[in-house]
Amino acid sequence: MPLDNTGFSVPSYPQLLDQMVTKAKQLFGDDVQTDANSVLGMWIRTICWLQVTMYQDVQDTYLSNYIDQAAGTSLDQLGNNYSVARIPAAAATTTLQFTGTPGYTIASDQDGSLFGTAEDVEFQLLDDVTLDDQGNGSGEVQAVDTGSSGNVAANTITVQIEQSDQVTNVTNPDPAGGGADIETDDSYRQRIHLSMEAQPGPTLYGLYTALYARPGVEQVQIVPNLTMETDSYGNPPKSLHFYVQGGSQQDLGQAILDNIAAGIQTVGKIKVTAKDIGEHTHDVFFDTATIVPIYIIMTIKVSDEFNPTDGPANVLAAIKDYLSSLIMGDKIVFTKLYQAIYNVQGVDYISVTMGRDKSKMGTDDIQLDQFETAAIANDADVEVNVDE
């Protein structure tokens, strides 16, 4: 039986075929024709294929009862049992600065309220903005589409999609943040497990739980200094220093205030003003993780199974998946790059160099500092040369 004290195991197609051929010979004699071209053989193989498909569906149903194996809506239903919902996709936000005709009002619900980047990432003005006597004004915008693509760099939203002669210049002094794709199954599983260890609250585990629950947050590092002395990082006594990668700054500041214990000060270069339950304002401080760009140059020899259209993109995705699995302060293990790339179908041989600096490429591991995280800043930073 597929289900026993070791769990649920699915018989393979060859195993089922062997069982059915053996049974046919028991019923009809050893000389019965069961090869692939015989009538009985074709019937047996059709039934085997249907059985394998059925067994796989039953196994998926069986595994959907477990957090580490469930996927999709099955995982959502398990998460709801622990009051942990999947984080939906979110749109990035930022503040634009405008220059134009003094007194002119940029209406958020009329033509002229759409702005974008040179790469066609569009943002919608949320509230009306009236330019002052010097012709300056500012207003919050939100990306038209949800997803991480809206997290654009500072001074890149400079295009008036609907031109207005009254507005001469527009830009975003700060990066857009808070944009996030719908949470992946892997990330969702980790948060469900984390919620079992601690609910959002003032404990360290509780603070991690609270911050990881915010849209777009990818990594969190908390440095506590609960002594009466300044620590080795320069953090003052009785303080918490948060390092966060991803998410909206305002959202993060509010989450910290909502969960931090009374009497603990926060430390960092970023300041957010958040409100407590009594509508009193508080300044919350934290820092973002330092993103280290990684450069990779490789030559790969491929077989006929390698897809020349999608293959290089799959190699790039494999590298990004490996780097995204690392946390702040991890080591980029050179040999694990090989493991990630060899998982791409059709890759037979690889020669790779990597580095933090394009002028200093090599084969050594890269040790990140405690508050650094690695990323491929631009797809062009990964050079894939295919040798067929």
pLDDT tens for each residue of 247-267: 888 999 999 999 998 888 999
Looking at the domain assignment, is residue 177 inside a domain? no
Looking at the domain assignment, is residue 205 inside a domain? yes
Give the count of domains, the chain: 4
d(CA 333, CA 315): 17
pLDDT, position 12:
86
Do both 59 and 46 map to the same domain?
yes
Q: Looking at this protein, which amino acid is placed at residue 3?
A: L
Which band of pLDDT confidence, cut at 50, 70 and 90, is reported for residue 376?
A: confident
Distance of CA 182 to the CA centre of its chain: 9
Looking at the domain assignment, is residue 78 inside a domain? no
pLDDT, position 81:
85
Do both 58 and 37 map to the same domain?
yes
Which range has the top average pLDDT, 58-67, 106-115, 199-208, 280-289? 280-289
Looking at the domain assignment, is residue 113 inside a domain? yes
Angle at 327 between CA 321 and CA 331, to 5 degrees: 85
Measuring CA to CA, which residue among 292, 297, 303 is closest to residue 349?
303
**Final residue in a domain of this structure, among 226, 256, 288:** 288
Q: Looking at this protein, which amino acid is placed at residue 205?
A: Y
Give 314-323's long-range contacts (Cβ < 8 A, gap of 24+): 314/344, 314/345, 315/341, 315/344, 315/347, 315/382, 315/384, 316/376, 316/379, 316/382, 316/384, 318/343, 318/344, 319/376, 319/382, 320/375, 320/376, 323/294, 323/374, 323/375, 323/376
pLDDT tens-digit map of 112-163: 789 999 889 999 999 999 999 999 999 999 999 998 889 888 899 999 998 8
List the single range of 115-124, 170-179, 188-197 with lowest mean pLDDT. 188-197
CB neighbours (10 Å) of residue 170? 23
pLDDT, position 241:
94
Question: Taking each helix axis from N to C terminus, what angle separates 185-197 and 204-212, rounded to the nearest 10 degrees?
Answer: 150
For 7, the domain range is: 3-63
Q: Looking at this protein, which amino acid is placed at residue 170?
A: V
- The answer to whether residue 313 scores a pLDDT higher than 90 is no
pLDDT tens-digit map of 351-368: 999 999 888 899 999 999
CB neighbours (10 Å) of residue 327? 14
Do both 352 and 370 map to the same domain?
yes
Tokens coding 275? 């409100």
- The answer to whether residue 3 scores a pLDDT higher than 80 is no
Given phi > 0 = left and psi -120 to 50 = alpha, else beta, which region is 358? Answer: alpha
Do both 153 and 223 map to the same domain?
no
Which band of pLDDT confidence, cut at 50, 70 and 90, is reported for residue 4?
A: low
- The answer to whether residue 388 scores a pLDDT higher than 70 is no
pLDDT, position 98:
95
**Final residue in a domain of this structure, among 288, 314, 346:** 288
Do both 215 and 148 map to the same domain?
no
List the single range of 44-48, 57-61, 203-207 with lowest mean pLDDT. 57-61
Do both 296 and 356 map to the same domain?
yes
Q: What is the mean pLDDT of the chain?
A: 88
Do both 270 and 302 map to the same domain?
no
Asked if residue 388 lies in contact with residue 346, where contact means CB atoms within 8 angstroms, the answer is no
List the single range of 52-66, 85-99, 129-143, 164-178 with lowest mean pLDDT. 52-66
Looking at the domain assignment, is residue 269 inside a domain? yes
pLDDT, position 70:
85
Tokens coding 381? 């930073």
Do both 281 and 310 map to the same domain?
no
Looking at the domain assignment, is residue 193 inside a domain? no
Which range has the top average pLDDT, 92-106, 306-320, 329-343, 361-375? 92-106
- The answer to whether residue 1 scores a pLDDT higher than 60 is no
Do both 296 and 383 map to the same domain?
yes
Do both 231 and 273 map to the same domain?
yes
**Final residue in a domain of this structure, among 243, 267, 288:** 288
Looking at the domain assignment, is residue 191 inside a domain? no
